[in-house]
Structure 1
Amino acid sequence: MTTTGSGADPEDQMWWQKPFRMFQTNIREIDAGLDVERVLDRIIDYGANTWLLSVGGIVSNYPTKLSHQSPNPWLADRPSGDLIGDATAAARRRGVRVLARMDFSKVARRIAMEHPEWLFVGPDGRHQVYQGLTSVCPSGGYYQEKVFEVLDEVLSRYEIDGFFFNWMSFNEIDYDKAYRGVCHCVSCRTGYAEEFDGAELPVGPESPGYAQWRDYTSAVIDDLLARVRAFIAERRPQAPLIMGVTADMVFHEANNAIGRELWPALTQERVSLARSYRPHVPVLVNSVAFVDMPYRLVSEDPRHFAQYLLQAMATGAIPSTYIMGVPDEFDYASLRAGAEVTRFHRDHEEVYHDLVPSARTGLVCPPSGRHGESLSGSQDATDEFRGWWQALSADHVPFDALDLRRLGEIAQSGGLERYRLLILPDLGPLDEDVASALDQWVERGGRLLGTGSSGFASGTSQLASSPAASRLAVLDTPETTWSSVVLTDPDDRSTALPILGALHVTTLREGAQRFGAVLSRAPYGPPEKCYGHLPLQTPAGAVVQHGAGQGAAMFWTPGRAHRHLGLSAIGEEMTRQVRSLLGGERDVETDLPAQVEVIMGRSRAGLVLHLNNVSGRRHQGYSDPITIPAGRRLRVLSDVQTLRALRAGVELERDDAGFFILPEISDFEVLVGQ
């Protein structure tokens, strides 16, 4: 690997926009005497070529001269007294890049006592103290000023190839997972009052103005990150900043946690949201090899861990592995599965060069946190989104996840134009500019499908492309009475499906074609009184022509019903509407079982299809998948003449109907088309 000094050529300065593989050793103070050559042996054998190493912040693993930093006392175990100097020199000799992990979220007791103005202050006036460390606030002088002194010291001494900032946030929750409230330090009170005409800070999520405060803190961190990014770029242009969606590289940590319900597609979802917003900005998925921080000695299940890396790789992200301590000390069983995926990425690096999403169906995601949790206070929209995710995946409809909060920017940049179909799953009112952009996109030939509350504001449809003119009522499903939707299949046989959630009673625009019929409610019991369920004039859904495109709506929440009940008939009705809107322009046709996901992208190598076998999926994890025998078939809309299966190492043959004949699929296969 070429040394990237100030005189490096421009292409090498952008090394992080090419495929690479990272390995993080999240070292403890006592690990400062680690054998850098042995660690590099393990990293290289694993298939990685980049090392994320703790450099400074809470503990400095180099001999810092700054009074507001805390040198690691175990540096005395090294003859040089400088772990970072030894690591960067050895890594440079062996062609491995070093990224610096910085954690400025806390300071030692001495520093906290000298600078109380830097510290987090809860609504109760208390600081956050844990293991002798005190949390600081991003609004205060430590983050706003002293961080730059640390970066300057590190950059002046070492050839660091990039930076990652850990836990850069307004710490409402401490390490014990106790809620500590909104920070009320002097900097926060002053800044918030200046921004909002003297307004007082909220206390927590139940306080008026909490959402406004979250927006304010996001702006504070975005501004700070922009300054950090500019500072680093001026001194070392080839060193990216790895952080949020507006940094040089987006960071996602794929992890498990005790008590958190598993959403199996979370890694793919997070990467897809970032790549559909900025397709050419790299995303790094740091996959945790252990179960949870309190159980950091316990290996993650190997199949579960492999899924983090497989989903990252399939969506064009950088696969990365994260362990506690140093290799060899904890024998994580998950690493053997992780090495298999990481080495595949290494051996087929050309396939992942400039790999970007290329599906022509987009599924819009409601505002959610980094673990996919709802930020709106209601789980309903998240359930509707995930139900659609499951239905599309099972029917092998390749799709991207699009962030509702970024939809206006995506539209403004022309990013909607590659989509044939967009799905709006129970998203509620839309921003005016988003509604207008969607209408214009449909008018140019797009297909739009909304469900539930999407695009309704004050009883009026915001979308001229929607078949709904207005909303007359919203009928929630109570516990004691139930409603059904009667949907007609292509053979005119009626199938009754349950409404779970809300039915939106609407008037239709002129020319809208209704589909399905709603049945009236009936008593829950006793059985002698369980009659009713008569067809009403209320439509279950409708479709209308709008310019060169079509707008469709399902006036109930089929995704939510599918997510909670798992009825295949609901998923089939959902994808029947999708197929109807796509017409004959499906990206993929295949007879693969529903448990094999198809993820589509394009890279310098051509069309790239990842076939991810998730047949081993369980409620909270994974077991070994069932091997899919050779002989299944797949056809793609793209004009490809050949498909090569990389794991099987064969060119695929085609039958008379133009379908490629697939090889045996164990856990995954990757197809590359020309």
Structure 2
Amino acid sequence: ERDLFGEIAADAREDGLAVIARMDSNRADERFYVEHPDWFTVDADGRPYRAGDLYISCINSPYYEEFLPAVFREVIERYEVDGFADNSWSGLLRDRICHCPHCRRAFRDVAQAALPTTHDWDDPVYRQWIRWNYARRLDIWDRNNAIAKEHGGEHCLWIGMNSGDLTHQSRNFRDYKGIAERTELVFLDSQYRHAGMGFQRNGEMGNLIHGILGWDKLIPESMAMYGAGQPSFRLASKSEPDARFWALDGFLGGIQPWWHHIGAYHEDRRQYRTAAPIFAWHAEHEDALVDRTPGATVGVVWSQENVDFYGRSRPGELYALPWVGMTDALIRARIPYLPVHADHVARDAERFGLKALVLPNVGSLSASQLDQIRAFVEGGGGLLATGETSLYDEDGIRRDDFGLADVLGVHATGSHHGSDRDDRASWDEWGQHTYLRLSPECRRWVDGPQTGSEPDLDLPRHEVLAHFEETDTLPFGGRLEVVRVAEGTQAPMTLVPPFPIYPPETSWMRHPASDVPALVLHEQPESGRVAYLAADIDRCFGRSRLPDHAVLLGNLVRWTTGDSIPLMVDGPGFLHCQLYRQEELLILHIVNLTGHEVGHAPVDQLFPMGPIAVTLDVPDGIGQSVNVTRLVSGKESSANVVNGKVEFEIERIGDHEVIAIAAGDGDQG
């Protein structure tokens, strides 16, 4: 018999490569199941859970306690591998409950209760089952690493595999923060852009993982060269631009390339041409792509507990859509941002000099997390919060009032207008046909029909309503929390209740105005600026992509920072921009995603953009003379330093550009 893995490992050693044994350890065929049926997951009636024709092993059984450790030892002894990757190490997904004897016994020992039989988030036993499952996966992580190091030496690592999507991590009971605190690197199994999402999710996930893992560590990502997607074609070539954009935005987020083919022989050989230029460019400029710290001054707060205990059975609508809507609006506004774990607010605010925090419907926050956010604002930091932020505790139990009521300047009433369901309304169902009224109203002074009833007030609007000078209303269509506002606040937007869409003769506002606030602004002496969006504009933008919603979100974030964004990028296109520091070097990463903000079809073309004018705050150590080098085009840019800011122009950006700004010869000591 041929030992194919042994041959490949030997060849890799000859080429000076480290060898990682990639496993898919959790599933087995019927031959194995017949020998050890008690090692596999079963439902409440004792029927085995299956994935296709394979059986799913139980993480609490001897399969994990005895069999897999023996496999690790054998692989290390036979091949002297440097580590392990494992694709399905975390076992049964959250949507199914294992009732095998091992699970029944282990859970009762911890919870003094029987296993739950239904997915009831209001049941404290079910919530304990969720946390018990997370803890068991961390135990497995620690145990597997202990075995790897015992038999392979201190540098032999078991690294598993982790997802590029928080909801998927939650379905697998993989605690990203807990894992990051235990590992030297993350193997990221996030192979391609999924339908309906943008390439920007890859760079964002790189930033999120670095925030919990460390900015000096590595995140090699399995990047599909094959036809990944819906449907998938394992032996076909992925569109070269589609694969390239995924990799390039990953580089922006501090991710390292790791090409992925299915099998070693292919009749469609176009896929062999994709990785080489990507890897060659990364290798040439690797020094500028690792060991960086973020230069963003805006932190967007997240936690996996919020995904689980607030998102519960609806994480897509309660967590993902608000997050995607908010962060995509920041990308459109060219505002660099940093994903910040809710436990790390105080640490990261001090470490990176954050000027504002954004909480996109972060419903579930613990008392400690609330204290950190409150202290940040009291220390002068800005805050934008939306929807039900802070209305639930860490178990997802609703509070009587917002946990941040004193900071936000609002109090919960327990009622709301509209819906947060991702339903596609028809013209006959007009409950979501709502608008937001801007104040003061300005249409009397804008060209158009006049009835004589227009308000005769020529007053300036608040700066958060910039770019809406020719309208008194914005489309809404979402959910609005009804709140009671505190004294000393402003409400420059209010709700226009729903009215019919069709037939057109009936489509007129029955109640053109209301006193229901959609946006509340709160400023206190010596504290930061605070904006609370009762209207779920972030979720609406994530769902419907209305440009007005993105403009409003960008305005609000700029205002909460006191206009202290360190980067301004003027020019056409959808550009993903991220800023980094590296000792006395400033690095600006731009990926041109024009035409590909979201999508379903594979990308097969590029839309170059330019000219692009860039203005950057000059960091300490650079001085008044700078060198601006473009690492993709290989060109130098002439730059001016004016009032502490670097100004330069990029004539044209193809797929991406990386700009290194360093002290000029005249400023080097």
- TM-score scaled by length of structure 1: 0.79
Secondary structure in 1 matching 2:223? strand
Q: Is the 8 A contact 1:105 1:135 kept in 2?
A: yes
Paired residue for 1:345? 282
CA drift of 1:335 comes to 4.3
Equivalent of residue 492 in structure 2, options 509, 512, 515:
515
Unaligned stretches of 5+ in structure 2?
163-175, 393-398, 420-428, 439-460, 663-669
Q: Is the 8 A contact 2:357 2:383 kept in 1?
A: yes
Structure 2 Cα separation of the partners of residues 565 and 605 of structure 1:
42
For 2:301, give the aligned amino acid.
V
Structure 2 Cα separation of the partners of residues 440 and 369 of structure 1:
21
Secondary structure in 2 matching 1:202? coil
Equivalent of residue 553 in structure 1, options 522, 528, 532:
532
Equivalent of residue 357 in structure 1, options 268, 284, 294:
294
Structure 2 Cα separation of the partners of residues 225 and 549 of structure 1:
41
Structure 2 Cα separation of the partners of residues 605 and 287 of structure 1:
32
Secondary structure in 2 matching 1:298? strand
For 2:496, give the aligned amino acid.
L
Number of positions where the alignment pairs a residue of Structure 1 with one of Structure 2 = 581
Equivalent of residue 530 in structure 1, options 496, 501, 508:
508
Secondary structure in 2 matching 1:626? coil
CA spacing shift, 1:183–1:415, aligned 2, 3 Å: farther
CA drift of 1:226 comes to 0.8
Q: Deviations over 1:132-159 (max 9, x none)?
A: 7533111111212222222222223333
Q: Deviations over 1:285-328 (max 9, x none)?
A: 211222348521222222221122112211112211111111x4
Structure 2 Cα separation of the partners of residues 276 and 376 of structure 1:
27
Paired residue for 1:20? none
Is residue 363 of structure 2 the alignment partner of residue 428 of structure 1? yes
Instruction: Show the 5 A alignment for 1:605-644.
Output: 606-617=585-596, 619-620=599-600, 621-629=602-610, 631-639=611-619, 640=622, 641-644=626-629
CA spacing shift, 1:184–1:94, aligned 2, 3 Å: same
For 1:385, give the aligned amino acid.
W
Unaligned stretches of 5+ in structure 1?
1-75, 174-178
Structure 2 Cα separation of the partners of residues 104 and 506 of structure 1:
51
Paired residue for 2:316? 379
Q: Deviations over 1:568-615 (max 9, x none)?
A: 222112111111122231121111324121122234682222211112
Equivalent of residue 581 in structure 2, options 576, 588, 602:
602
Structure 1 Cα separation of the partners of residues 190 and 488 of structure 2:
47
CA spacing shift, 1:375–1:324, aligned 2, 3 Å: farther
CA spacing shift, 1:333–1:368, aligned 2, 3 Å: farther
Is residue 79 of structure 2 the alignment partner of residue 158 of structure 1? yes
For 1:238, give the aligned amino acid.
H
CA drift of 1:368 comes to 9.2
For 2:134, give the aligned amino acid.
S
For 1:666, give the aligned amino acid.
G
Instruction: Show the 5 A alignment for 1:150-229.
Output: 150-172=71-93, 181-203=96-118, 210-229=126-145
Instruction: Show the 5 A alignment for 1:406-417.
Output: 406-409=341-344, 411=346
Secondary structure in 1 matching 2:187? strand
Structure 2 Cα separation of the partners of residues 465 and 340 of structure 1:
54
Structure 2 Cα separation of the partners of residues 130 and 397 of structure 1:
43
Is residue 286 of structure 2 the alignment partner of residue 286 of structure 1? no
Structure 2 Cα separation of the partners of residues 567 and 133 of structure 1:
45
Q: Deviations over 1:49-93 (max 9, x none)?
A: xxxxxxxxxxxxxxxxxxxxxxxxxxx24xxxx434433333222
Structure 1 Cα separation of the partners of residues 291 and 131 of structure 2:
33
Is residue 630 of structure 2 the alignment partner of residue 652 of structure 1? no
CA drift of 1:557 comes to 1.0
Secondary structure in 2 matching 1:633? strand
CA drift of 1:628 comes to 1.9
Q: Is the 8 A contact 1:253 1:288 kept in 2?
A: no
Q: Deviations over 1:217-237 (max 9, x none)?
A: 221111111121223234422
CA spacing shift, 1:200–1:294, aligned 2, 3 Å: same
Equivalent of residue 266 in structure 1, options 201, 207, 218:
201
Is residue 62 of structure 2 the alignment partner of residue 141 of structure 1? yes
CA drift of 1:518 comes to 3.4
Structure 2 Cα separation of the partners of residues 524 and 294 of structure 1:
40
CA drift of 1:119 comes to 1.7
Secondary structure in 1 matching 2:85? strand
CA drift of 1:165 comes to 1.4
Paired residue for 1:480? 430
Moved more, 452-461 or 221-230: 452-461
CA spacing shift, 1:409–1:567, aligned 2, 3 Å: closer
Secondary structure in 2 matching 1:610? strand
For 1:484, give the aligned amino acid.
Y
Structure 2 Cα separation of the partners of residues 309 and 464 of structure 1:
42
Structure 2 Cα separation of the partners of residues 646 and 304 of structure 1:
22
Q: Deviations over 1:344-382 (max 9, x none)?
A: 111112112313433221223464999xx9655253332
Q: Is the 8 A contact 2:363 2:390 kept in 1?
A: yes
Q: Is the 8 A contact 2:186 2:220 kept in 1?
A: yes
Secondary structure in 2 matching 1:449? strand
Structure 2 Cα separation of the partners of residues 289 and 535 of structure 1:
54
CA spacing shift, 1:582–1:169, aligned 2, 3 Å: same
For 1:483, give the aligned amino acid.
T
Q: Is the 8 A contact 1:271 1:283 kept in 2?
A: yes
Structure 2 Cα separation of the partners of residues 272 and 127 of structure 1:
39
Secondary structure in 1 matching 2:235? coil
Paired residue for 1:3? none
Structure 2 Cα separation of the partners of residues 384 and 294 of structure 1:
28
Identical counterparts, % of pairs: 23
Secondary structure in 2 matching 1:609? strand
Structure 2 Cα separation of the partners of residues 535 and 107 of structure 1:
63
CA drift of 1:255 comes to 3.4
Is residue 506 of structure 2 the alignment partner of residue 506 of structure 1? no
Secondary structure in 2 matching 1:237? coil
CA spacing shift, 1:412–1:194, aligned 2, 3 Å: farther
Paired residue for 1:242? 159
Secondary structure in 2 matching 1:297? strand
Is residue 212 of structure 2 the alignment partner of residue 295 of structure 1? no
Moved more, 568-577 or 534-543: 534-543
Structure 1 Cα separation of the partners of residues 191 and 247 of structure 2:
11
Secondary structure in 1 matching 2:102? helix
Q: Is the 8 A contact 1:645 1:669 kept in 2?
A: yes
Q: RMSD value over aligned CA atoms?
A: 3.1
Paired residue for 1:53? none
Structure 1 Cα separation of the partners of residues 360 and 557 of structure 2:
13
CA drift of 1:389 comes to 1.7
CA spacing shift, 1:460–1:581, aligned 2, 3 Å: same
CA spacing shift, 1:253–1:496, aligned 2, 3 Å: same
Structure 2 Cα separation of the partners of residues 367 and 670 of structure 1:
32
Q: Is the 8 A contact 1:442 1:546 kept in 2?
A: no
Structure 2 Cα separation of the partners of residues 549 and 276 of structure 1:
24
